[in-house]
């Protein structure tokens, strides 16, 4: 795959991926390329700088010196992370069986315990309508396997 920076006669600039340079040339010759903004069929390659990665050693040195932009978490992000850790440490992950497990506990056919998992919108709505105490989590659970 190859990415080209392209432009039309009206100077609209955009990028697109092609299987190869030959594939780009074939599509251009067949008139199958057009500007996504104005629809002009006259498309040409624009000046583009290559996406070159630095050497691994240089990258590691720069990363060691530069704090990660996401390292400075807000108070809300820290609270959500703490909640996630607590839920995952104390609850049983039931995955896509969440609605079935919650309903069984509510009806008394399964022992009550803290659970978390995933439910479709219609399943969650039915649980709430039936008075089953559930709440959405402000994070995506870590899927557990085995």
Split into its structural domains, the chain has a count of 2
Residue 21 lies in a domain: yes
118 occurs within a structural domain = yes
Whether 80 and 125 share a structural domain: yes
Residue 62 has pLDDT above 70, yes or no: no
Residue in the block written with tokens 């085995």: 146
Exposed, middle or buried by CB within 10 Å (0-12, 13-18, 19+), for 43?
buried
pLDDT attached to residue 21: 87
Q: Are residues 39 and 79 in the same domain?
A: no
Structural domain contains residue 82: yes
* Residue 117 lies inside a defined structural domain of this protein: yes
d(CA 102, CA 114): 9
% of the chain at pLDDT higher than 90: 33
3-state helix, strand, coil in the chain (%, to 5): 35, 15, 50
Are residues 121 and 80 part of one domain? yes
Residue-range definition of the domain harbouring residue 30:
2-45
Q: Where are the beta strands (DSSP E) in 1-146?
A: 2-7, 13-18, 44-45, 92-95, 115-117
Is residue 50 one of the residues assigned to a domain? no
Look at residue 55 and tell me if it is in a domain. no
**How would residue 69 be classed by pLDDT, with cut points 50, 70 and 90?**
low
């Amino acid at each position: 795959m190859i990415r080209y920076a392209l432009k039309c006669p009206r100077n609209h600039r955009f990028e697109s991926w092609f299987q190869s340079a030959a594939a780009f040339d074939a599509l251009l010759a067949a008139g199958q390329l057009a500007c996504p903004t104005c629809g002009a069929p006259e498309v040409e390659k624009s000046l583009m700088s290559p996406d070159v990665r630095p050497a691994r050693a240089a990258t590691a040195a720069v990363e060691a010196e530069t704090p990660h932009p996401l390292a400075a978490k807000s108070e809300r992000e820290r609270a959500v992370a703490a909640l996630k850790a607590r839920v995952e440490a104390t609850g049983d992950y039931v995955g896509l069986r969440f609605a079935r497990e919650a309903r069984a506990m509510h009806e008394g056919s399964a022992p009550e315990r803290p659970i978390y998992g995933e439910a479709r919108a219609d399943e969650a709505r039915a649980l709430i309508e039936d008075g089953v105490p559930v709440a959405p989590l402000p994070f995506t659970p870590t899927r557990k396997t085995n």
